[in-house]
């Protein structure tokens, strides 16, 4: 069981590091990428006037990419400028491609 847990930790850490690295490279200035030390999600925080839901609509329509806008995690509707991305399911190649497309979509706004 310990071996399985260690392999899972290494797998998720690799996925997280890959996604974080690509997002950090492709996102415009004014955006920050969280540096999680565990779990299955990371957060992108955009400038105060950034609307994550508009990017979600474009990413879903153009690339079949989905994420959770930050305001969906807030009972008060805050964090509209944030995006919650999961790295639990897809492999590093797909996560890299998705990050590139998310970055391109944001840059086109």
Q: What is the pLDDT of residue 86?
A: 98
Q: Are strands 41-45 and 82-86 parallel, antiparallel or unpaired?
A: antiparallel
Bigger pLDDT: 22 vs 2: 22
Q: Locate tokens 């260690």: which residue?
A: 6
The tens digit of pLDDT for each residue in 48-106 reads 999 999 999 999 999 999 999 999 999 999 999 999 999 999 999 999 999 999 999 99
The tens digit of pLDDT for each residue in 6-53 reads 999 999 999 999 999 999 999 999 999 999 999 999 999 999 999 999
Whole-number Cα distances in Å, 3 to 7, 17, 61: 6, 21, 40
The CATH number for 82's domain is 3.90.1150.10
Question: What's the domain count of the chain?
Answer: 1
Q: What is the pLDDT of residue 1?
A: 77
Q: What is the pLDDT of residue 39?
A: 93
Domain extent for 90: 2-107
Q: What is the pLDDT of residue 24?
A: 98
- Strand 41-45's sheet: what is its strand order? 32-33, 41-45, 82-86, 68-69
């Amino acid at each position: 069981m310990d071996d399985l847990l260690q392999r899972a930790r290494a797998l998720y850490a690799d996925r997280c590091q890959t996604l974080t690295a690509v997002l950090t490279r492709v996102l415009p200035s004014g955006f920050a990428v969280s540096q999680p030390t565990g779990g299955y999600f990371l957060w992108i925080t955009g400038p105060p006037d950034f609307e994550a839901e508009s990017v979600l609509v474009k990413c879903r329509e153009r690339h079949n990419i989905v994420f959770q806008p930050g305001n969906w995690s807030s009972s008060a509707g805050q964090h509209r400028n944030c995006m919650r991305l999961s790295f639990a399911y897809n492999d590093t190649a797909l996560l890299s491609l998705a990050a590139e497309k998310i970055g391109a979509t944001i840059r086109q706004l």
